[in-house]
Homo-oligomer: A and B are copies of this chain.
Amino acid sequence: MKDVAVIGVGMTKFGELWTKSIKDIFVEAALKAIEDARVDHIDSMYVGCMSSGLFVGQEHLGAVMADYLGVSPIPSTRVESACASGGMAFRQAYFEVASGNSEIVLAGGVEKMTDGADVTEALATAADQDYEVYQGVTFPGLYAMIANAHMYQYKTTRKQLAAVPVKNHKNGFNNPNAQFRSEISIDKVLSSTLVADPIRLLDCSPVSDGGAAVILCSLDIAKKFTKHPIIIKASTQASDTIALHSRKSLTTLNSVSKAAEKAYKIAGITPKQIDFAEVHDCFSIAEIVVSEDLGFFEKGGGGPAAEQGLTALEGGQIPINTSGGLKSKGHPVGATGIAQVIECYEQLTGQAGKRQVKNAKIGMTQNMGGSGASCVINILEAL
């Protein structure tokens, strides 16, 4: 496989973008990425999107976006894996460049969630329709089961869960593209509306519109475009059962641990060598479980680690979600996996401003779909 690099990134602000269509949003992000990478063309593109059919009545999104971006007749492919759609689009772009078929490929992600569709119902299509959704459970309920099991098994406390969104809002305060740039307190999380016990409103990532895009190319030609290409050391993916009830354990996300294991092996590193990570904090408990399954902390150690500031930007052992994460930055589901790569890129190229992790050399992204039935992990490194 050829070595592949990221050479430019672009994203919209995440939030309620009522004056912009899904096309506007994707095109804005893609143009920014193309401009940032200073490429004069792209050979091919990928669009990660979960459910434009249900959200805005538009499928065939690869062709739609190539057309509105003005790059037809290049190949353009839409990839879907619920909230991991962006990460998976990135990985497909990676394969296309690694295979030698194309030199410069755009990987983007987009979601337009605030146009009036029933968001809870649309998101629930990421769970098992027959055995979960039809029985009445939606995502806050599924993650509540994971949280309850984790609290029972590892004595994780409600306050430890709250430490996650408090940290992520603190980080997001310094991200100009974040949806919620406001700090919150533990007390505010604990007194927010109960959604699905023990999950409260401020444990939940929001409903968002947004787009994100990055440009990949073979490492051979990357130096033509930038002094600071970021190498993709590993891009891995794994799956798990779609329904929670089929799993041996509720407190381990098998797709995360499997994809991580493979990623560390391919990159030839251990979790300790990761300087920072963007992980999929769709709910507070998700970040805690994922921080364990990525090997940053032992099982049961995720809650105490969050509470003790081990994942904080300042003085943390492994800063997690310096971008603000899904919670503060926003979670336009198809764009999230790409936005994670963008934060990684900005950190590794020293462009993260007040969010900058000192001496950041190796970063990780972890993006997952549903209650972890799919997961994509990337390890990126500064040259």
Cα–Cα distance between A77 and B241 once the two chains are bound (Å) = 14
Total interface residues in chain A, CB < 8 Å: 65
**Contacting pair A57 B99 (CB below 8 A):** no
Q: Which A82-131 residues have C-beta < 8 A from chain B?
A: 82, 88, 91-92, 95-96, 98-101, 122, 125-130
**Contacting pair B60 A125 (CB below 8 A):** yes
Is A147's CB within 8 Å of the partner chain B? no
Is A28's CB within 8 Å of the partner chain B? no
**Contacting pair B67 A59 (CB below 8 A):** no
**Contacting pair A77 B67 (CB below 8 A):** no
**Contacting pair B77 A59 (CB below 8 A):** no
Is A315's CB within 8 Å of the partner chain B? no
Is A54's CB within 8 Å of the partner chain B? yes
**Contacting pair B79 A77 (CB below 8 A):** yes
Cα–Cα distance between A167 and B63 once the two chains are bound (Å) = 31
> For residue A100, which residues in chain B have a CB less than 8 angstroms away from its CB?
1, 98-99
Is A370's CB within 8 Å of the partner chain B? yes
Is A21's CB within 8 Å of the partner chain B? yes
Q: Which A28-83 residues have C-beta < 8 A from chain B?
A: 44, 50-51, 53-54, 56-64, 66-68, 71-82
Q: Which A191-232 residues have C-beta < 8 A from chain B?
A: none
Cα–Cα distance between A82 and B59 once the two chains are bound (Å) = 7
Cα–Cα distance between A71 and B373 once the two chains are bound (Å) = 12
**Contacting pair A75 B21 (CB below 8 A):** no
Is A307's CB within 8 Å of the partner chain B? no
* Closest B residue, CB atoms, query A255: B73
> For residue A95, which residues in chain B have a CB less than 8 angstroms away from its CB?
92, 95-96, 99, 101
Is A328's CB within 8 Å of the partner chain B? no
Option from B64, B239, B254 in Cβ contact (under 8 Å) with A242: B64
**Contacting pair A53 B51 (CB below 8 A):** yes
**Contacting pair A80 B78 (CB below 8 A):** yes
Quote the shortest CB–CB distance from A130 to chain B (angstroms).
Answer: 7
**Contacting pair B237 A75 (CB below 8 A):** yes
**Contacting pair B246 A75 (CB below 8 A):** no
Closest 10 CB pairs of A and B: A99-B99, A63-B373, A75-B237, A60-B82, A59-B125, A73-B238, A60-B126, A63-B374, A66-B239, A98-B99
8 contacts across the A-B interface (CB closer than 8 A): A50-B59, A60-B81, A60-B127, A63-B369, A73-B254, A78-B80, A95-B99, A98-B101
